[in-house]
Structure 1
């Protein structure tokens, strides 16, 4: 059953909607694994709206870092999203790319040992050019490298373009 699907694209390109639809086609009660850190009340309300919109078919799990601590064997899991997950490690490592990248790779490798179908959602933030902000450039590097790492492990890769999934792999 182990399967890895990677879905990437720009903001508001339809990545999460596509991942959710695909997960619901594969399982009656898929898992939504949310990686976001709740920064403020507006963001908390956004999370609540998303949970309500998904409805009762979903099992919601909130986990900012150690995704592998949860048992997903036999499940279909939408991991939303790698961008926010990377942010957590990036700030934990004082914005240093290499330690964050190594920690992310190790945790990803532990997670995918489980016999589950994982749908990883991420952003392609590097498509917009090079930022003049050093912190943003570092984060863009980190996310680009973890995206490449996940895509290499994936059975299927999709790039979302204006709500249309384009199969890459």
Structure 2
């Protein structure tokens, strides 16, 4: 059997989501697609539509922009089978958390992010779910010139490190080419 937890990293428009979708087994098990994006404007609505159109119609979509770990845990607790889970994406979820709170509440946001990531990882482990996490890699970007940007980079960099440490496999997708960086 292949890895239980896979992390797929990449830049914006790198092909990471399409690659992550290709990793989900087509073996008859149920698939839960955890969507963290919110259609706040026309361009984001179009991105969400393209992602939705690309996925198989039998995949269940769980919209969880602020607490994917808790929402997924509730769903998995009621599931009888050994599902596959694709979470797209950690970076959008963390951006949603940042924008939902005041900048002065950064330590609270860090705590929410840490607890939320642990809930997501432990919920998938407990449900024995084949899990693929998608996230943007901010470690190759320059340090943001503004405070909110730096906080996002710090949150996401830490979350990506924790997810990579927990993962059985990690891929970095560059220009549509996946490279396995952790066996």
TM-score by length of 1: 0.88
The number of residue pairs the alignment matches comes to 169
Shift in CA distance, 97/27, structure 1 to aligned 2, threshold 3 Å: farther
- Runs of at least 5 residues in structure 1 that lack an aligned partner in the other structure: none
- 1:80 pairs with one of 82, 85, 88: 88
- 1:107 pairs with one of 103, 116, 126: 116
Deviation for aligned residue 1:27: 5.2
Name the CA distance, whole Å, in 1 between partners of 2:24 and 2:84: 6
Q: Secondary structure at the match of 2:58?
A: coil
CA contact (8 A) 1:28 1:57 kept: no
Name the CA distance, whole Å, in 1 between partners of 2:11 and 2:136: 5
Name the CA distance, whole Å, in 2 between partners of 1:97 and 1:148: 19
1:120 matches 2:133: yes
- Runs of at least 5 residues in structure 2 that lack an aligned partner in the other structure: none
- 1:91 pairs with one of 96, 99, 102: 99
Q: Secondary structure at the match of 1:13?
A: coil
Name the CA distance, whole Å, in 1 between partners of 2:62 and 2:157: 25
CA contact (8 A) 2:91 2:135 kept: yes
Q: Deviations over 1:21-67 (max 9, x none)?
A: 11144655422110012212332233223212223132211111222
TM-score by length of 2: 0.82
Name the CA distance, whole Å, in 2 between partners of 1:108 and 1:10: 20
